Amino acid sequence: MKLNKINIINHHLVHLRVLSALVVMLFVFSNSYSQDIHLSQFNSSPQNLNPAQTGLFDGDWRFVGNYRSQWAAVPVPYKTFSFSTDTRLKTKLTSGTPALGLLVNNDNSGTSHLSTTQIYLSASFIKKLNKDSTHFVSLAIQPGVATKSFNASALTFDNQYDGDSYNAALPSGENFTNTRITYFDAGAGLAYLYRKNQRMKVNIGVSALHLTQPHQKFFGNSTDKLSMKTAVSGLAEFPVSENIDIIPTLLYQHQGTYNETVAGGFAKYFLTPVNGMTAAISLGGFYRMKDAFIIAAGMDYMNFAVGVSYDMNTSKLIAATNHRGGFEISVIYIFKKIVPFVAKKRVCPIYM
């Protein structure tokens, strides 16, 4: 959940541009910018959820794309983009399997075009716990670098009002010597996977991100820092009929003085296989406590999984959003090699 909701309400309700400029300044230079990116389809962005999810999938390579547009009802919507890819260094989940991943995030918010770009490398080690390959544990680290910047020319200041109207030719009276910062960041995670088959699994994980708690200061006397974020997540999938699976999901996150709890799930209906490939549609709902109801739908076809969701805001921000929250889309593609069949004995042609 974004920490600058009060700022947006003020920006929407206050008509005098001099006051809106002050609101924007508060947004840029207060603790509100020390907030992580936010996705409602958190399970569809595994490396953002937990670095230990790196490599925990059925396939050889996984590619994930996420896009979110939040609060389009306010003057300046927030936009988030995320891309990730991961692979195991051993094709199969054996007794000890290393995996690597790459995660790139970009978030743009507010009138100042406050931009956050994060690039992380994820490295996990997956350990099989039993002989029948149903229980796994994964431990991971996630070092990276991040950059934050804002556009000072997009801001207006009280010095630029001549008493009657705004005059861009007037000096702002502000001296921005630093509009971009870069810092090192790191996270870690632990995950447990029980996978009996393609339709029955349990995935539980804990993660700690921003372990370095990097300082994010545009001015030398600033002490703002990005608080460490801890998360506990859980997902289960199990069949309740021949064609229907239930997927309950839970997420709890804590960052600084803020907490977030999301609970809900999907019902997945398996369609008649298309060309021998699995096809399914999903419909679900979630509740982010004290913030939003989330409706979501998805479709699995061949190696693709596509999801869409929409947040219906229920917090005090409804004065500005009229319950309209965020639209989100996710796309996952898993590349899986087909192992060629080689007969151990020569087979006679069927025409002989």
Triad 127, 129, 134: Cα angle to 5°: 105
pLDDT digits (tens, 9 = 90+) for 251-299: 999 998 889 999 999 999 999 886 767 899 999 999 999 889 999 999 9
Tell me the average pLDDT across 109-121. 85
Element (H, E) at 10: helix 5-13
- Compute the distance between CA of residue 41 and CA of residue 52 in angstroms, rounded to an integer: 18
- Ranges 60-69, 164-173, 309-318, most confident: 60-69
User: 116-120 — which CB contacts under 8 Å span 24+ positions?
Assistant: 116/37, 116/146, 116/147, 116/148, 117/146, 117/147, 117/148, 118/37, 118/144, 118/145, 118/146, 118/185, 119/144, 119/145, 119/146, 120/47, 120/51, 120/144, 120/185, 120/187
- Name the more confident of 93 and 309: 309
Sign for the CA dihedral angle at 252, 253, 256, 259 comes to: negative
Tell me the average pLDDT across 296-306. 94
Tell me the average pLDDT across 201-210. 97
Judge contact between 115 and 108, C-beta under 8 A.
Answer: yes
pLDDT digits (tens, 9 = 90+) for 316-334: 665 555 556 789 999 999 9
- Compute the distance between CA of residue 160 and CA of residue 171 in angstroms, rounded to an integer: 6
Residue 338 has what pLDDT? Answer: 65
Q: At 309, which amino acid appears? A: S
User: Does the pLDDT of residue 110 top 90, yes or no?
Assistant: no
User: Does the pLDDT of residue 162 top 80, yes or no?
Assistant: no
Secondary structure (DSSP) of 193-261: EEEEETTEEEEEEEEEE-TT--B--SSTT---B---EEEEEEEEEEESSSSEEEEEEEEEEEETTEEEE
**Residue 166's pLDDT band (boundaries 50, 70, 90)?**
confident
Judge contact between 144 and 186, C-beta under 8 A.
Answer: yes
**Residue 61's pLDDT band (boundaries 50, 70, 90)?**
very high
Query: Which of 164, 85, 151 has its CA nearest to residue 335?
Result: 85
pLDDT over 90, % of the chain: 51
Residue 319 has what pLDDT? Answer: 52
- Quote the mean pLDDT of the chain: 82
Tell me the average pLDDT across 210-232. 83
- Compute the distance between CA of residue 234 and CA of residue 286 in angstroms, rounded to an integer: 14
Length, in residues, of the chain:
352
Q: Are strands 61-70 and 324-335 parallel, antiparallel or unpaired?
A: antiparallel
Q: Are strands 324-335 and 96-109 parallel, antiparallel or unpaired?
A: unpaired
User: Does the pLDDT of residue 23 top 60, yes or no?
Assistant: no
Tell me the average pLDDT across 77-102. 89
**Residue 73's pLDDT band (boundaries 50, 70, 90)?**
low
User: Does the pLDDT of residue 231 top 80, yes or no?
Assistant: yes
Tell me the average pLDDT across 159-164. 74
- Name the more confident of 160 and 184: 184
pTM over 0.85: no
**Residue 72's pLDDT band (boundaries 50, 70, 90)?**
low
DSSP one-letter code for 42: G
Burial letters for 46-75: b for 16+ Cβ neighbours within 10 Å, e otherwise?
bbbbbbbbbbbbeeeebebbbebebbebbe
Tell me the average pLDDT across 76-94. 86
- Compute the distance between CA of residue 286 and CA of residue 290 in angstroms, rounded to an integer: 12
Residue 21 has what pLDDT? Answer: 36
User: Does the pLDDT of residue 232 top 90, yes or no?
Assistant: yes
Residue 341 has what pLDDT? Answer: 47
CATH number assigned to the domain covering 5-161+176-335: 2.40.160.40
**Residue 336's pLDDT band (boundaries 50, 70, 90)?**
confident
User: Does the pLDDT of residue 1 top 80, yes or no?
Assistant: no
Residue 281 has what pLDDT? Answer: 97
Which two tokens mark 148? 């934050």
Which two tokens mark 156? 């207006």
- Name the more confident of 101 and 148: 101
Neighbours of 222 (CB within 10 A): 13
- Name the more confident of 289 and 23: 289
Query: Which of 312, 329, 249, 290 has its CA nearest to residue 49?
Result: 249
